[in-house]
Amino acid sequence: MAASNRDPFVKRASMSKTIVIVGFGPSTSTAVAEKFGTEGFSVALVGRNKDRLDAGVSGLKARGIVAGAFPADAADPAAIVAAIRSARSELGPIAAIHWNAYGGTEAGDLLTADPAALRGIFDIAVFGLLAATSEALPDLKSAGDGAILITNGYFGELSADIDATVTSLNVMGVALAAAAKNKLAGMLAQRLKGDGVYVGEVMVRGSIKGTPTDSGNSIDPSKIADKFWEVYKARGETLAAVS
């Protein structure tokens, strides 16, 4: 009789894989959470805004998806480690990480930016991502199909035209962080392929619906989420693009 009173979400969480989504917000990460949750994953939402996380969890549970909120700053490696540990304890072993966080916004012009802003350019793109990877790695290896999935923007591509654009838009710090994240994704892919852990980066070449840069022909977040699911299942090339 006691078993019949168990929360069905708890039961489902114990039977499913868990994806940790870092940098949760109303666009790409919401679409990824819904996509993977619909495919049977439990979903751990990580971000700085607790109210946003709680709303996200409520929306996912309304769809029948097991989810939990774990407030943390992606620029703080210790906080990210703690969030992943909490997610593991509440939802079960980590089968995938979706790194949707980005930084470098405070360093628009690299030559005039505050030194503290310059030092922080890689806090999210490199140090936070590495902390998440290291903490989740035993789970990712054990999963058999573990994955690290990374959202990135085309400002990180190596191109003279892109360099001119980011300089004129005064987003040099964002571009530098994106370039570092792109390089890190490639190196992690090589480092972890022997462990059965897939690393996939989706490069978004355009503005995204539901974001401050939304334009008339912006990319729908569901298209990005579908691409993440595609690369997760295919486990082939590290870099894929959506435009």
pLDDT tens, position by position, 70-110? 999 999 999 999 999 999 999 999 999 999 999 999 999 99
Domain containing 153 equals 2-242
Burial class (CB in 10 A: 0-12, 13-18, 19+), 126: middle
**Residues 217 and 229 sit within 8 Å (Cβ to Cβ):** no
Tell me what percent of the chain is helix, strand and coil, each rounded to the nearest 5. 55, 15, 30
pTM for the full predicted model: 0.91
47 forms bridges with which residues in the sheet?
71
Query: How many structural domains does the chain have?
Result: 1
Altogether, the residues listed in the chain come to a count of: 243
Query: Each residue of 165-193: pLDDT tens digit?
Result: 999 999 999 999 999 999 999 999 999 99
What pLDDT does 11 receive?
40
**Residues 21 and 99 sit within 8 Å (Cβ to Cβ):** no
Indicate which CATH number applies to the domain containing 230: 3.40.50.720
Q: Report CA torsion sign: 16, 87, 142, 7.
A: negative
CA 58 to chain centre: 19
3-state secondary structure of 165: helix
